[in-house]
Amino acid sequence: MQGNIRGILEDITSIFVERSREILGDNLAGVYLHGSAAMGCYNEKKSDIDIVVVIHETVSNDTKRRFMEMVVQLSAAAPAKGLELNVVKKSACNPFIYPTPFELHFSNAHLQWYKSNPSDYIENMKGTDKDLAAHFTIIRHRGKCLFGKDIRVMFGKVRKEFYFDSIWNDIKNAKEEITESPAYYILNLCRVLAYRRDGLILSKTEGANWAAGKIPGRYRALVAQALSMYSSDAVIGIDQSLVTDFAAFMTEQIRN
């Protein structure tokens, strides 16, 4: 099964690179894989295929439209959550700029916006994104170059305070939001604490394994449940009060 998943990922990413080169031409500087697909814990039913596309110069809206049509079509052919990608200019990558400007972004969360008003999407889906500090750090440590220059040449070092601000921004409201997506927050809290304490850059799975020996015993079964939900189709009833207590405990540990 794992071999089949790797084959699907390779097919999707190979087609993506090929079509990106056709559409962007010489303006395409590089294509880089990060996230679970690069870190060995991709779940075809729950994971995105995370990609950063680097370009030399801003592209026209017509070219963005052609590119987006390709992305939407390919994302629909990919496993469950499809593609999540950012298009950034090379000048923002090295030296690294924070918050990081981006030229275009896509994930399934924005699919309806694009389908209902593609012109508005293409005109307005740009700005800055703190998440890119985390993405670039993952690329530098665990990512895969699909096309273009070596990762360490393309991406400058991300300062530790920028990386932490980026991952903290993702979980700072965990106490209020964790019951909406418990597995996501539980595992992310684990890997953020692993970075805060030990400087480790981990996947969700690795973060859960790290936490097993680091957190109080009352929370360990909860983390194991979250990992089971993330890595399989398991549907597990989780103690909501314990989840909220865990979020409060972990965010306090991370702050300190």
Q: Could you tell me the fold of the domain covering 2-158?
A: Beta Polymerase; domain 2 (3.30.460)
Model pLDDT, residue 5: 64
pLDDT in tens, 169-191: 999 999 999 999 999 999 999 99
Comparison of pLDDT for 236 and 25, the residue scoring more: 25
Spell out the domain ranges in the chain: 2-158, 172-255
Model pLDDT, residue 212: 93
pLDDT band for position 6 (cuts 50, 70, 90) = confident
Average pLDDT (77-83) is 91
Question: What rounded mean pLDDT belongs to the chain?
Answer: 95
Return the residue matching tokens 């805060």: 196
pLDDT band for position 43 (cuts 50, 70, 90) = confident
* 81-84 LR contacts (CB < 8 Å, sep 24+): 81/46, 81/47, 81/48, 81/49, 81/107, 81/108, 82/48, 82/49, 82/107, 82/108, 83/12, 83/16, 83/48, 83/49, 83/51, 83/107, 84/35, 84/48, 84/49, 84/50, 84/51, 84/108
pLDDT in tens, 204-213: 999 999 999 9
pLDDT band for position 1 (cuts 50, 70, 90) = very low
pLDDT band for position 46 (cuts 50, 70, 90) = confident
